[in-house]
Amino acid sequence: MNPSDTTGVPFQYFFTPKIFIILKNRSIFKTEIIIKQTSMETSSFSENTLPNNNMTLAIIATVLGLCSPCCIGLILGIIAIVLSSQVNTKFESGDFGGALSSAKNSKTLSFIALGLLALNLIFLLGFGGLAAYQELIEAYNISQ
């Protein structure tokens, strides 16, 4: 669209859902409102497609989350599985935004659980491996 009309007065754009309103100031006291229907995409998904529920990623994160510190990854993985299972039911009930939100939250929690596993492995390998870890646990048990 042209940012100015033939008189050189700039347009002011206001965005509302599915309506594009153009206010064109011709004088101080007179404002002409032109409303045009447009199809504005708010995300890369259309409302006809089912978002990926990331169930396999959530299950892998849950199983590997057993090795994370204090089993936090396990807890996050279980929450990710619950969110993944909600994607299909929310989509079928017509709540596309809720389905997309559940899918994104499930993916985020799964990646956090896998990140905790990676940090735990780096910590173990950085301090001498499993043998050093077992010695640390034995020293802790003896002190109690």
**pLDDT tens-digit map of 42-93:** 445 556 788 999 999 999 999 998 887 778 999 999 999 999 999 999 999 9
Q: Are residues 139 and 97 located together in one domain of the fold?
A: yes
Residue 45 domain-assigned? no
Residue 48 domain-assigned? no
Residues 6+ away with beta carbon under 8 Å from 68:
74, 113, 116, 117, 120
Helical axes 96-126 vs 72-92, angle rounded to 10°: 160
What is the number of structural domains in the chain?
A: 2
Q: Are residues 21 and 60 located together in one domain of the fold?
A: no
Strands lying side by side in the sheet with 11-16: 11-16, 19-25, 31-37
Q: Are residues 61 and 28 located together in one domain of the fold?
A: no
d(Cα 41, Cα 11) in Å, to the nearest integer? 22
Q: Are residues 63 and 36 located together in one domain of the fold?
A: no
Looking at the whole model, is its pTM more than 0.75? Answer: no
- Domain carrying residue 137: 55-143
Residue 118 domain-assigned? yes
User: Which pLDDT tens digit goes with each residue over 110-140?
Assistant: 999 999 999 888 888 887 777 877 887 888 8
Query: Is residue 41 a contact partner of residue 53, using CB atoms and an 8 Å limit?
Result: no
Q: Are residues 20 and 69 located together in one domain of the fold?
A: no
Query: Is residue 19 a contact partner of residue 35, using CB atoms and an 8 Å limit?
Result: yes
Helical axes 72-92 vs 55-64, angle rounded to 10°: 160
Q: Are residues 11 and 63 located together in one domain of the fold?
A: no
Q: Are residues 19 and 79 located together in one domain of the fold?
A: no
